[in-house]
Amino acid sequence: MQRLYDFLRRHPTGVDTFWAVFLFGISVVGEVARQEDKGTDSPALIIPIVLLLCLVIALRRRMPEKMLLLAIGLGLAQVALNVETTAADFAMLVIVYTVAATGARWASRTALAAGLCAAPVAQLRWPNEHSGALGNIAVMIFQTVPFALAWVLGDSIRTRRAYFAQLEERNARLEKEREAQAKVAVAAERARIARELHDVVAHNVSVMVVQADGAAYVLDSAPDQAKKALETISSTGRQALAEMRRLLGVLRTGEHKEAGEYVPQPDVGQIDELVEQCRTSGLPVDFKVEGTPRPLPSGVELTAYRIVQEALTNTRKHGGPNTGASVRLVYFDDGLGLLVEDDGKGAPHELYEEGGFDGQGHGLIGMRERVGMVGGTLDAGPRPGGGFRISALLPLKPAH
């Protein structure tokens, strides 16, 4: 049954043609019977009119406006040639409905006017001789009602289709907006994960490389120092793996992990551990906190930690030998200030102009993106007396 319904929906003109043929047969049979009883109308006039009225039914959905005009013209021809109404005149009722539902607005108004005039004109042209004036008026009203109902039904279907089309368009637009928002969210998340991976890999691998070089240098002369360096490499590697496991866990879908499986996001409280790790790797770092520490939003906590981490990593990479660094955290009333300086040879010009060499220049670019996401400001560049300087001001808000 569903296949039949789908077939009929795919071939509307074929369905209309079937009903047109059916109506033509009924009309011809009816006219032949009436001619035998009355012998008045000429078949030469009736058959072409009936045929054209059935054509209106067959082509009503392919060209509704043209078929409406054809039906009106045939109706006027019947009045002028004195060809009484037949079963084929049912086409006028059908075309009124069709034009009201699918035709142009001018055609819909024309169909309403023609439908309301069809019954009165037919009743005046061929009145019932056996009924009085009131009877003819009643018949006229009775025959006008179907045309009015057909137009109202067609117009309501037009309105309903327009409403559903508007809903579909709105849903399609909302779907596109949701897809666009999802793509933006995915891009932002990928950028965040890329920054995290860069910070984790660049810092920890830098520490491991420095420790490995030192261990290789003192392996024969000072085994204890080499052993300590290897222990630092081991702990740093484990920390890097733990952080990368957390980041990769974000990328997994459909898996529910316990909160304790992944390490928490680093925060300002862990900067002290970061500084101590750098000292262990051979970089002297002076760390001070000024002002009264207070709660920060998690995004600000992570941003502050990553800025210090990236700054100290750049110091190890570009500062040269015998370089020292200092880290200052200043709690203002309305913000958190960060100042990281070193007295090394200074970073290359491209580092702070183009974003750095490492990782295609994502070091300082990542810093600026992080600071911008929390509404802060960042300044990076060489110090007047030599070395490099990074300062940032992050908005301080109470943590909820």
The rounded distance, in Å, linking the Cα atoms of 395 and 67 is 72
In this prediction, residue 383 carries a pLDDT of: 85
Q: Render pLDDT for 351-386 as a digit per residue (tens, 0 to 9).
A: 555 444 344 445 677 788 778 878 889 998 888 878
In this prediction, residue 91 carries a pLDDT of: 92
Give the pLDDT band of residue 262 (cuts 50, 70, 90).
very low
Best CA proximity match to 12, nearest among 59, 50, 47, 46: 59
Distances from the Cα of 400 to the Cα of 295, 296, 336, 397, angstroms:
9, 9, 17, 9
Say if pTM beats, i.e. exceeds, 0.75. no
In this prediction, residue 31 carries a pLDDT of: 78
The rounded distance, in Å, linking the Cα atoms of 15 and 94 is 14
Alpha-carbon Rg for the chain in angstroms: 44
The rounded distance, in Å, linking the Cα atoms of 281 and 229 is 8
Q: Which helix (H) or strand (E) holds 331?
A: strand 325-331
First to last CA, the chain: 61
Q: What percent of the chain has pLDDT over 90?
A: 28
In this prediction, residue 320 carries a pLDDT of: 79
Give the pLDDT band of residue 94 (cuts 50, 70, 90).
very high
Judged against a pLDDT cut of 50, whether residue 238 lies above it is answered with yes
Please state the rounded mean pLDDT for residues 7-31. Answer: 86
CB pairs under 8 A, 24+ apart, for 183-186? none
Pairing of strands 335-342, 325-331: antiparallel
The letter for the amino acid at 229 is: A
Q: Answer whether 79's CB lies under 8 Å from 121's CB.
A: yes
Please state the rounded mean pLDDT for residues 325-346. Answer: 88
Q: Which fold has domain 268-400?
A: Heat Shock Protein 90 (3.30.565)
Domain ranges of the chain: 2-126, 268-400
Q: What percent of the chain has pLDDT over 70?
A: 82
- Which has the higher per-residue pLDDT, 157 or 364? 157
Distances from the Cα of 72 to the Cα of 93, 119, 161, angstroms:
11, 13, 27
- Which has the higher per-residue pLDDT, 264 or 149? 149
State both tokens at 129. Answer: 């001789």
Q: Answer whether 395's CB lies under 8 Å from 300's CB.
A: yes
